[in-house]
Structure 1
Amino acid sequence: MGGKSSKRSTTGRYASYGSSSNSGYPGYAQSPYTQPTYNCPPPPSYQTYGGPPPESRKRLERKFSKIDDDYNSLEQVTDALARAGLESSNLIVGIDFTKSNEWTGARSFHRKSLHHIGDGQNPYEQAISIIGRTLSKFDEDNLIPCYGFGDASTHDQEVFSFYPDEKFCNGFEEVLGRYRELVPQLRLAGPTSFAPVIEMAITIVEHSGGQYHVLLIIADGQVTRSVDTVNGQLSPQEKRTVEAIVKASQYPLSIVLVGVGDGPWDMMREFDDNIPARAFDNFQANIMSKNMNLSRKEAEFALSALMEIPSQYKATLELNILGYKLNSHLGAHFVFSIGLYFLSSARRGNEIDRIPLHPPQYGAASFGTSKPSQNSSYRPSAPSSSGHNSAFGSGHNSAVGSNHPASSADNQLCPICITNPKDMAFGCGHQVFDENFSCTSFSSLMEKLWQTRINCIIISAALLLHCLISCRAKAVLHHSAERKGPWKLLLNNTGVVGVQMVLTHWNTVILLDRSGSGRSGYQLRHRLNGTRCKGTRGDLSDPTCYVHSVEYSISNNTIRRLNIMSDTFSSSGSILSDGRIIESGGFGDASTRIHYFGPCKSGDSCDWSLGKKHLSAKRWYASSQILPDDRIIVVGGRGSFTYEFIPKMSTNGNAFHLSFLQQTNDGNEDGNNLYPIVHLSVDGKLFIFANRDSILFNYKQNRVVKKFPRIPGIGSRSYPSTGSSVILPLDHKDGFRKVEVMICGGAASGANAAARQGTFLTGLNSCGRMVVTGNNHKWKMENMPGPRLMNDMVLLPTGHVLIINGAKRGCAGWRNAAGPALEPYLYNPKKTLGRRFTVLKSTKIARMFHSSAILVPDGSVLVAGSNPNNQYTFRNASHPTELRLQAFIPDYMGKEYNHQRPHNVSIDINGTEGVAYGNEFLVRFLLESKPSKYLSFSAYAPPFTTHSLSMNQRLLKLRSTRIISDAKGWWNATVEAPPSANVAPSGFYLLSVVNEGIPSISEWIKFIQPAST
C-alpha cells in the first residue's frame, strides 16, 4: 500500500503467510499473470515490541494474552455477544486510497486497479456490499460516517470525510453511491499507515463518551516498509501504527482489518499476534480474497470479522475501561474504516482529537477522466525492482505490460525520493505548493532539474521546507472553516448532577438534583438538623449527609452548597417578578411541597426555604408557567390530570380538572404526556402540548378555546419520549401579535417498551412550527440533521435556536437511551427551508437523561448534568454520572467579531425599580464603528430548565425609537419596553444589543406593571 516496497514475498518464519491469499475473488476469473517478486528485507519481529505497559496504563491490571478464534458459526458469535451484553452497534466506514491499489489486483482483479469503476463491482464495492448485508443488522440508526485515507491529500497523516459537512451516509446503499462518486476525483498516493485510522477511532470513542467500538479497516495490503529500513527495525509508518494499536488498547476499542486484493498480509498477522504491550488483544486480520461462492464468502466474512469481538468486549469490561474516559453505552459502535480515515498528525499531548478533511479536490481526476474507461487495464505506476523499467519514462513496458500510454501523473518524479533509486518504486505522492497555493506533485520541474544535473538534494530540501510551511498555512485555513462553537470545561465537579438549572439576576446559577439518589459528589459533616455525619455504613448511604443543590458563581467559577429540604426529583419551577425561584412538587412526600429561593449576590448566604402551604395534588413530572398576574400555574404530573396555581391564597387552594391531559395519556407508554409543554400566548391564554396534540386554553374560565391539528409523524414528543420546544422570538415589528411555537425531537412509537427490553429505537429527527395566534393553524415540518431526543432548546440573543444535549435512540428514563447526541445544532428561523440548520462542534461529554442547558449573560450556554443511573455511578455503566460543568461558546463570541460587538452596555431607568410596560428607557453602549441598520435589542426571560423543558423561556425583539451618537464611539439608544404582561410577564430580563448578528454582553433589566393612579 502506498508503494511497491510494501508488497513483497517473505522468507523465514514469514514464508507461510506470504502466499496465503493469492486466489482470486469469486466471480472473477483467475489471471494468468505471475506475481512479481521483490528483493526486500523481511519485516521485523514484534514479539518484544512495546516492552512493559506504559505508565498511563498502570491502572489496567489485565496482562496481554492472545484471544483465540473459538467459534464455529455466526450464531455462536452473536449469542456470545448477547451474553456479554453487546447486542447493537453503529457503523462507520472508511476506504484505503493508496497507490498500491493500482497493482495489487494483478491476479485477483484482471490487472485493473482495485478501485476501477465499471459495470460490475470492484473488490472494494464487493467488500462494502458484504459488510452491508452481514453487519448492518447490528446498526440501529442506519447512519454511517464514512472517511478515506492514503490519497494525495491525506497520505499517511490524515483522513477525509465522504461529505464536505461530515454528513453521515444513510445506509450502505448511500455508502456505495458516494464511493462511486468520489473515486474518479481521487489521486491515489501513500505511503500507508493505519495510525490515522486508529487515532480517528480513538477520537470517536472519546467523543462518544467511552462507548465500545469496533474499528474495521478494509485495505489492499499492509503498512509501508521502505527498502532501506534496517532488518529487525520498524519503518516510521510501522512504528506509528504499532504505537496507535497499543494506545487503542487503553480504550474500549477493537480493531479488525479486512484485506482485499493480492496482499501480502504477513505483517498484519504480526499486528494480530505479537504486540504484547497492549492491555488486551485488540487487533485481528481477515483476508477476503479466498476463492469461494459469494453466499459462503459473506457468511465466512461475518464469522471471521466478529470472531474475537465477544472476548474483546468482555476484556474491556474486566479492565474497567468501558466508559472510563467519558460516558459510554453497551451498544457497540462499529467503526468501519475500509481503510479510510483522516486525522491531523499533530498530537495534543496525550490527547488524540482528530477532525476529518473535506473530500479532496485536486482539479484533475486520478484516473484521467471523471468517468474512467470501463475496460482500462491494470497498469502499475512503479517499476519492478529488476530495473528494466526506467523511472524517468523511458518507454519500456512495465512488468505487467500496458496497452495504454502512461499518464502524466504516473510519469511524475519526486525530488525527495529521486536521490535514492531504491525509493523510486514508492509512488510516494510527496507534495509541494504551486504558484496557486495548492499542493501538487513536482513532475516536470524535477525532470528538468535532473536533466540539467542540478543538485536535487539541496533543491528538494528547499522545496520540501516550502511545502511544509505552505501546507501548514493551508491547514490553518482549513481549520478556520471547521465546525463552529468551541467548548470550555469550567468545573470538573459541581458536586451534584444538574438535573435542574436556573439563572438568577445576581449572575449565579442554581443546580438541583434528586436526593433519592443517595450519595452525591459533595458530602456533609453535619445534617441540616445538626447531627454529625459519621463514617459508618449507614451515614455513607444516608442522603441527608450529602448536598443535593448548589449555587454556581459565574464570575468566580466556584460552587457554594445549598440545603434543600425534600426530594425535588422531576419537579417544576418558575421565577416570580421579584426574582424568587419557586420550585414545586417532586418525588414521594415532596410531591406536594413548594420550595422558595431568594437569590443574593455572590458571597452572601441565601438558601432554600420550605413553604408552609402544600399543593393540592401530587406534582411529579408537572410543568410550570409564570402568568401575567405574577402567579404560577402548575399543570399535570404523573397521575394528575389537573392544574393549580401558586403562590397559594389558601391552605391548599384548588386543583382544576383538565380532560386534555387524560385524553393524551398513553397507558402502555408511561404516559407520553408528562412534563407537558406550556407556553404563554400574547393574548394571555396558554398553549398546552402533550404527547402529539395541543390546545389553546383559557385558564381563567377553565375552558379549551381551540384544538390545534395533531403534529405530523409517528411518535411522541412528551416525556418519556421527550422532545423540546420554544416560542420563536416575539417581534415588535408585528406588534408582538404573532406567536409561533417550535417543537423538535422526540421518540419513536413504542420506544419506551422497546427500551425496557434492551432495544433502542431511533428517535425523531423532525421539527414542527405552528403559528398559534390568528385562525390559520398548520404544522410546518422540517428535519434536523439527525435524530434527537432529550434535547434542550435555548433561545440565543441573535434570535437563533440552539439545540443541544440528548440522545439519538431510545427514550428518557433509567438507562433507556443510547447514542449520545454530541453535536449541537444551530437553527436560524429566518432562513429558507432546507438551509436553517447548521451542525456545530461536538462535545466529548455525553449529556443524556437528567442533563440541562441555560443561556448566561456573556452569551455562552452552560451545560450540566447527565445521570441515567438510579445512583451516582462512575464506573461500569453505559453512561456514568456526569458532574462536569461546561460552557458552549457560540461563534458570535469570537474575538474576531469584537469590532462589531457593542461594548460597555449600561441601562438608564432613572433610578426606578424597573421599566413600566410601554415606557421608554435609555441604553448606552460603545461601538468601534457606526451601528449597522440591523442593530437590534433583545430581552430574554431566563427559564427554569429540566428534562428538556425551558419553562417560561421567551425572547423579545424590542423597538428602538432613535439612536444618537455621543462622542468617541459612544451611542445612546432609546428603547421601548414591551406593551403588556401578556407579552412579557413582570420580572428580570437579560437585555442584549445585537449589531450585525453579534450580541453584547447582556445586562439585567426589570419590566414592571405601571404604578396605579
Structure 2
Amino acid sequence: MKSVAVFTILLATQACANILFPFVQPTCDFSLSKHQGCLSGQICIANNTCIPAKRVADLQLRDSAPRPDGRCGKDFDGATCDPEGEYGGCCSQYGFCGKKEGHCLKSNGCQSGCDEDGGDLPPTSTTVPDSSGAQSSEPVMGSPTAAPDGDGPATTDGTCGAENGGTICGDWPRGSCCSMYGFCGNSSTHCGEGCQSGPCDQEPTTPAPGPKPAMANANPGTLKVVGDSGVPAMHAGLLPNGRVIFLDKVEDYSKLNLSNGHYAYSSEYDPATNEVVPLAYNTNAFCAGGIFLANGTFMSIGGNGPLVDIDDSVGDGFAGLRWLTRSIDDDSLNGQDWIETNDKLDTKRWYASAQTMPDGTIFVASGSLNGLDPRVRANNNPTYEILNRDGISNGESIPMDILYKADAYYMYPFIHLLNDGTLFVFVSRFSEIFDVGKNETVKTFDELSGTYRTYPNTGGSVLLPLSSANGWHADVIICGGGSYQDITSPTDPSCGRIRPQQEDAKWEMDSMPQGRGMVEGTLLPDGSAVWVNGANLGAQGFELAEDPTLEVLIYEPAAELGKRWTTGPKSDIPRLYHSVALLLLDGTLMIAGSNPVQMPKLEPDAEDPYATEFRVEIYTPPYLSGDDANRRPTDIVLSTLDLKSDSSTFDVTFNAPEGAKEVKLALYHGGFVTHSLHMGHRMLFLDTEGFKSGEKEQKITVTTPPNSNVAPPGPYMVYVVVDGVPGVGQFVMVS
C-alpha cells in the first residue's frame, strides 16, 4: 500500500522528484498541529518541516484520533482505531480498522492496537466482507466538482481544485489549468470540459462525430447461451490446449469450490464440452493485467490486497505474479492450479497493462499502488518495468511521462507493438510512440477528439490486421469511452483510427450507432472486427453503468469510410463491468461475464438492477452462418507447429470447398482479456503461394513473419481462410 518503492526510484531522477515531491516547504510547528502552517496536501512532521502527506508512508508519525470511516495508519495521518468503536481497535497494514487476525497480528502488518498472539480473536469468516484488505470495492471519482473561485493558493505538487484545498495551478510548469479531477496541465483534458480553474477555454481541435445509424448486416450471425463460467469472468484467455481460463477477484460467492472448502476464483472452461473445473491461486488477482510469455505460459500481473475475512487462504496480490501453463500436446497439465513463487513486481500495480516485446521480455506499465483515490497523485504508479522471458521483474520502475500527463485517467493504457520494436501507447486522449530501449518518446500525436478512452471510461482498441501488403505497419482503431466516473456520465459513440507510423499521422474519425463505454473489439480471422458488451450511460466501477448496449457491431476495416459498420444480433444479457469476449479455435466468439456489483448477486432487484452473470454465450459470425456455414476448409495439416519469425516457410495441406477462389493464412494471437482490453492481441495475414483456384485438394507454402517486431514470441493460432470462411484453427508456437 505504501508508495515508498516508487518514491525511492523517482528520487534517482531529480527532475521527476521535483515534480512529484517538491521540497520547497513552509515551516510549521509539529507540537501544535500536523496541518497548521502547511499547504494543502502537506503534513507537518517532528522536525517542523512540511512534506507531502503521502510521502510519510515510511515515517513514524505520532498517533492521531480515530477517523469516522474506519481508515487508519500511516496513509491516513497516523489515525488510530477505537477498540470500542464499530470497526475494532486494530489497524491493518492496509489502513482498515478491525478486530480479526488480518488486522491485529503484527506478523500480518498490523500498524497499531496490535495483538501479536491473536488472543481470543474470533475465527475468520468466509462470508462477511472483509475490511483488512485493501479494496473489495474501488475509489469512485464521481461527476466533476464545481469550480472554485480561482483565487486559492498556488499548488506545490501539481494537484489543485476543490479536492485539494482550493489550490490553483498558477505557473505550474506542466500547465495552468486545473482538471476536473484536480491535476494541473495544459491539454484539453485539463483546460476543457470540467476545468476547475485557469484558462479553461481549450477543447479538442476537431469535435468528435455523434452517433451514426448502421445498416443491419445481411448475414448478422447468431447468439446462443452454451454454458456457465463457474466464476465471475473478470479476466480471460484462450490457452494452447484450446480451453478458456476465467480469472476473478476474491469474492464471497462463486459456483465452484476448491478442495480446501473455499470458493474458487478461477476456472478452466472447455468449449468442446462446456464443462468447467475450479482452479486455485494464492494472491488476489482483482483487476490485474496479463500477457502470454514466449514459452506459451499465461501470466497474471498485479492485483489487489487480501480480503482475509472472506478468504484467509488468499494473500496480497498488489505485486503478485501468477503463472498458468498449458500445452498444445500435453493434456496432463489441464486443470492444474496457478503457480506463484516469492517473485514479485518491483512496484505494486492495480490496473496495469502489459505487452510482449520482440525479445520475449514483458513491458508492464501503469497501475495504482494501493487502490485508493487516484486524485491523490502519490497513490498512482506512472511508471513501467520490464519482466524477463520467465516473467520475473528486473527490479526497476521507470517514470513514464505520458502516464503522468494523463491526469486521473492513467490506468490500463492501450499498448500495441509496432514493426520497428517501438510501442504505440494511448491513455486518456493522449498517444505516442515510445522506444523502450532508449526510454524516450519518439513521436506524439494530436489528442483524440471526443471524451476519455481509458479506465475508468474505457472504450476498446484494436490493432488491425498486419500484412506484407501494408508493410506490416500498424493501423489502430479506438472506439467508445466516457466523460467521467459516474453513473450519469455520457458515453462516446465516436472512433478514431490512426496509422501512427505515417509521416503525418492524423486521426480519422468515424462513429458507432450509439455511445458505448466498456465496449471491446476482437479481430476475426477474415479481417473484420466484432464489437460487443458495454453500456450507453455511466463508467467502469461497481454500480456505475446502466442502459446496456446489447447489439453486436461488425466493423469492416477495408470498407469505405461511413460504410464500415453493420449491426449483428442483439443479446438479452447485459454485459457491463467485468465482461470479456475472445475468439475460439472454431472461429466463434465467446462472450462471458458481467459482475457490476461489489460482491456476486444472483438476481437483480430494485437496488441492483444488474446482477452477476455466469452464463457463457457464443456469437457465431456471418462467415459461419447461412450459406457460408458449410464452406469451411477441412482436413487442415501444418507441416510444423513450431514457427520462426525469420521469413522461413512451412506447408499447409487442406481440402477447399467447391469452387474456392482464394486463400488467406491468418496468424492470430488472442492475448490477455480484461476490462475491454486485449493485451497483446494481434493478427497477421502471412504470404502464401501454391493455391489452385477451384481444386479441392490444396497444398500451399506459407512464409513466416519477417522478424519478432512483427510477431513477438509466444502462442498463436493459425486459421486457413478460404473465400472469407476460416477452418478450425490450430495452435502453434512462434519464436
Q: TM-score, normalised by structure 2?
A: 0.65
Q: Kindly provide the amino acid, as one letter, of the partner of residue 226 in structure 2.
A: L
Structure 2 residue aligned with 1:722: 458
- Of 458, 471, 484, 2:220 maps to 484
- Of 927, 931, 935, 2:663 maps to 935
CA distance in 2 between partners of 1:928 and 1:849 (Å): 41
- Write out aligned runs for 1:663-742 (5 A): 663-665=405-407, 671-713=408-450, 715-736=451-472, 738-742=473-477
CA distance in 2 between partners of 1:1006 and 1:741 (Å): 25
Structure 1 residue aligned with 2:624: 893
Residue pair 2:521, 2:530 contacting (<8 A) in 1 also = yes
- Of 264, 270, 279, 1:547 maps to 264
Q: 1:702 to 1:570 in 2, by over 3 A?
A: same
Structure 1 residue aligned with 2:348: 618
| TM-superposed deviation, 1:927 | 1.4
CA distance in 1 between partners of 2:523 and 2:245 (Å): 19
Residue pair 1:965, 1:971 contacting (<8 A) in 2 also = no
Structure 2 residue aligned with 1:565: 282
- Which consecutive unaligned segments of at least 5 residues does structure 2 have? 1-215, 306-315, 369-379
Deviation by residue 1:781-814 (Cα, 9 ceiling, x = unmatched): 0111111110111000011010111111111101
Q: 1:726 to 1:897 in 2, by over 3 A?
A: same
CA distance in 2 between partners of 1:684 and 1:914 (Å): 19
Residue pair 2:385, 2:393 contacting (<8 A) in 1 also = no
Structure 2 residue aligned with 1:641: 382
SS of alignment partner, residue 725 of structure 1: strand
SS of alignment partner, residue 905 of structure 1: strand
- Write out aligned runs for 1:289-438 (5 A): none
Q: Is 2:236 the counterpart of 1:494? A: no
Structure 2 residue aligned with 1:390: none
- Of 560, 563, 581, 1:853 maps to 581
- Write out aligned runs for 1:787-936 (5 A): 787-875=515-603, 876=605, 877-894=608-625, 896-898=627-629, 900-909=631-640, 913-932=642-661, 934-936=662-664
SS of alignment partner, residue 867 of structure 1: coil
Q: Kindly provide the amino acid, as one letter, of the partner of residue 279 in structure 2.
A: L
Q: 1:613 to 1:824 in 2, by over 3 A?
A: same
Residue pair 2:480, 2:515 contacting (<8 A) in 1 also = yes
Residue pair 2:423, 2:435 contacting (<8 A) in 1 also = yes
CA distance in 2 between partners of 1:998 and 1:962 (Å): 19
SS of alignment partner, residue 687 of structure 2: strand
CA distance in 1 between partners of 2:391 and 2:631 (Å): 50
Structure 2 residue aligned with 1:504: 239
More helix by share: 1
CA distance in 2 between partners of 1:820 and 1:684 (Å): 38
Residue pair 1:596, 1:611 contacting (<8 A) in 2 also = no
Q: TM-score, normalised by structure 1?
A: 0.47
- More deviation, 994-1003/723-732: 994-1003
Residue pair 1:553, 1:602 contacting (<8 A) in 2 also = no
Structure 2 residue aligned with 1:578: 295
| TM-superposed deviation, 1:521 | 1.9
Which protein shows a greater Rg? Answer: 1
Q: Kindly provide the amino acid, as one letter, of the partner of residue 668 in structure 2.
A: Y
Residue pair 1:854, 1:862 contacting (<8 A) in 2 also = yes
Residue pair 2:540, 2:577 contacting (<8 A) in 1 also = yes
| TM-superposed deviation, 1:895 | 5.6
Q: Is 2:252 the counterpart of 1:523? A: no
| TM-superposed deviation, 1:523 | 3.0
Q: Is 2:662 the counterpart of 1:948? A: no
CA distance in 2 between partners of 1:949 and 1:978 (Å): 24
CA distance in 1 between partners of 2:591 and 2:689 (Å): 37
| TM-superposed deviation, 1:649 | 8.8
Q: Kindly provide the amino acid, as one letter, of the partner of residue 969 in structure 1.
A: K
Structure 2 residue aligned with 1:594: 321
CA distance in 1 between partners of 2:222 and 2:511 (Å): 24
SS of alignment partner, residue 447 of structure 2: coil
- Of 372, 380, 396, 1:654 maps to 396
Residue pair 2:463, 2:477 contacting (<8 A) in 1 also = yes
- Of 707, 712, 716, 1:989 maps to 716
Residue pair 1:808, 1:821 contacting (<8 A) in 2 also = yes
CA distance in 2 between partners of 1:948 and 1:913 (Å): 30
SS of alignment partner, residue 563 of structure 2: coil
| TM-superposed deviation, 1:481 | 8.3
Residue pair 1:810, 1:817 contacting (<8 A) in 2 also = yes
CA distance in 1 between partners of 2:691 and 2:627 (Å): 25
| TM-superposed deviation, 1:482 | 7.0
| TM-superposed deviation, 1:673 | 2.3
Deviation by residue 1:441-481 (Cα, 9 ceiling, x = unmatched): xxxxxxxxxxxxxxxxxxxxxxxxxxxxxxxxxxxxxxx98
| TM-superposed deviation, 1:916 | 4.8
| TM-superposed deviation, 1:652 | 5.9
SS of alignment partner, residue 318 of structure 2: helix
Q: Kindly provide the amino acid, as one letter, of the partner of residue 798 in structure 1.
A: D
Q: 1:1001 to 1:920 in 2, by over 3 A?
A: same
Structure 2 residue aligned with 1:771: 499
SS of alignment partner, residue 569 of structure 2: coil
CA distance in 1 between partners of 2:616 and 2:253 (Å): 19
CA distance in 1 between partners of 2:712 and 2:274 (Å): 30
| TM-superposed deviation, 1:891 | 1.4
| TM-superposed deviation, 1:602 | 5.2
SS of alignment partner, residue 939 of structure 1: strand
SS of alignment partner, residue 979 of structure 1: coil
Between Structure 1 and Structure 2, how many residues are aligned? 492
SS of alignment partner, residue 608 of structure 1: coil
Residue pair 1:495, 1:521 contacting (<8 A) in 2 also = yes
| TM-superposed deviation, 1:935 | 2.1
Q: Is 2:471 the counterpart of 1:744? A: no
Q: 1:649 to 1:838 in 2, by over 3 A?
A: closer
Q: 1:481 to 1:947 in 2, by over 3 A?
A: closer
Q: Kindly provide the amino acid, as one letter, of the partner of residue 342 in structure 2.
A: K
| TM-superposed deviation, 1:483 | 6.4
Residue pair 1:915, 1:921 contacting (<8 A) in 2 also = no
CA distance in 2 between partners of 1:716 and 1:482 (Å): 33
Residue pair 2:717, 2:732 contacting (<8 A) in 1 also = yes
Deviation by residue 1:282-329 (Cα, 9 ceiling, x = unmatched): xxxxxxxxxxxxxxxxxxxxxxxxxxxxxxxxxxxxxxxxxxxxxxxx
| TM-superposed deviation, 1:982 | 0.2
| TM-superposed deviation, 1:938 | 1.0
- Of 681, 703, 723, 1:976 maps to 703
Q: Kindly provide the amino acid, as one letter, of the partner of residue 257 in structure 2.
A: Q
CA RMSD for the aligned pairs? 1.9
- Which consecutive unaligned segments of at least 5 residues does structure 1 have? 1-479, 528-532, 534-544, 666-670, 1009-1013
Deviation by residue 1:321-379 (Cα, 9 ceiling, x = unmatched): xxxxxxxxxxxxxxxxxxxxxxxxxxxxxxxxxxxxxxxxxxxxxxxxxxxxxxxxxxx
Q: Kindly provide the amino acid, as one letter, of the partner of residue 733 in structure 1.
A: A
Deviation by residue 1:822-842 (Cα, 9 ceiling, x = unmatched): 001000011111111011100
| TM-superposed deviation, 1:495 | 1.6
| TM-superposed deviation, 1:775 | 1.1
Q: Kindly provide the amino acid, as one letter, of the partner of residue 655 in structure 1.
A: S
Residue pair 1:765, 1:783 contacting (<8 A) in 2 also = yes
Residue pair 1:598, 1:607 contacting (<8 A) in 2 also = no
CA distance in 2 between partners of 1:851 and 1:481 (Å): 24
Residue pair 2:352, 2:412 contacting (<8 A) in 1 also = yes
| TM-superposed deviation, 1:964 | 5.0
Structure 1 residue aligned with 2:85: none
